[in-house]
Amino acid sequence: MLRVLAAILVRPVVRNRRELVTYVASATTLAVVVALVIDIVNQLVFFVSWGDSLRSWAVTIFAAIVIAVPILYGIGRTHLSLHQAKAEVELMSLTDPLTGLANRRAILDRADAAAGTTLVLIIIDIDKFKSVNDTYGHRVGDAVLKTIGQRMAAELGGLGMIGRLGGEEFAVVSSDTPPELVIDRVKAFCTRIAGTPIVAHRIAVTVTVSAGAAIGDGRSFDALYAEADRALYAAKAAGRNRLCLSAGLQDAAVA
């Protein structure tokens, strides 16, 4: 019993401000009850009068509250800060630092979580991105990557997870949206990218993107990625600036 009480007081679960307030209130109540029980026992053993006992119990309650609240708030605040720090580290481990999108690990986790469902994966690659870096420098290249990532998040975020796989390669992972809608939205996105120059450090850069789409039903992410990558390669071979479908999507007559 004492161990349980100690765990509640010293090792609370505090993940937000509401839980902090709840912890301080409940732990303070517990501390008051324990202190009051001890004082009641003491007064009954050394009983003088009911007046003295009531005054003693009132003082005990007041003292317990005054002492417990700041101590418990400090404990709770420390645990809240620790939880927030852990959450921030976890978020950083799942976030691409340049674009702010989900990184490859987060995409893999998303695919694993969707195991057994129909999953659409679209790989989007910036065409001839090396020439952007060679012509304008990596500073402009990074700005192009960041801008495309922001546009993907704004225009395609409702379809599912948007992430950066690495380099100039991005991904859309969707399990809750009809495949034909995902494909139509990505096609439209590719068209808008080609028609809207990206202004980076006062330089207007025009780029196009190619995309490969695949659909999987319970298959591993590696198998799905390989199929989407083959579709992306087909888009590149066909002249770039387009989206190509995997054999599975073509068989499903999704256009």
Helix then strand then coil, % of the chain, to nearest 5: 65, 15, 20
Pairing of β 243-245 and β 118-126: unpaired
Average pLDDT, the chain: 87
pTM above 0.75, yes or no: no
Q: DSSP character for 212?
A: E
Domains and CATH numbers, the chain: 2-93 (no CATH), 104-251 (3.30.70.270)
Give the mean model confidence (pLDDT) for residues 192-206.
93
246 contacts 212 by C-beta, under 8 angstroms: yes
Query: In 3D, which of 90, 65, 77 has the Cα closest to residue 17?
Result: 77
Q: What are 21-45's pLDDT values in tens digits? A: 888 888 888 888 888 888 888 877 7
Q: What are 6-25's pLDDT values in tens digits? A: 556 666 778 888 888 888 88
Spell out the alpha helix ranges (H) of 94-220.
104-113, 129-136, 138-156, 179-195
What is the C-alpha to C-alpha distance for residues 234 and 33, in angstroms, rounded to an integer? 72
Residue 255 has pLDDT above 50, yes or no: no
Q: How far apart, in Å, are the Cα atoms of 159 and each of 70, 149, 155, 229?
A: 47, 15, 9, 20
Kindly list the catalytic residues: 168
Residue 72 has pLDDT above 60, yes or no: yes
Mean pLDDT is lowest, of 122-126, 132-136, 219-223, 225-229, for: 219-223
The pLDDT, as a whole number, for residue 186 is 95
Largest Cα separation within the chain, whole Å, is 98
Mean pLDDT is lowest, of 134-138, 210-214, 245-249, for: 245-249
123 contacts 170 by C-beta, under 8 angstroms: yes
Task: For 188, list phi and psi in degrees, rounded to 5.
Answer: -65, -40
Q: How many CB atoms lie within 10 A of CB 2?
A: 6
Query: In 3D, which of 239, 247, 205, 200 has the Cα closest to residue 223?
Result: 247
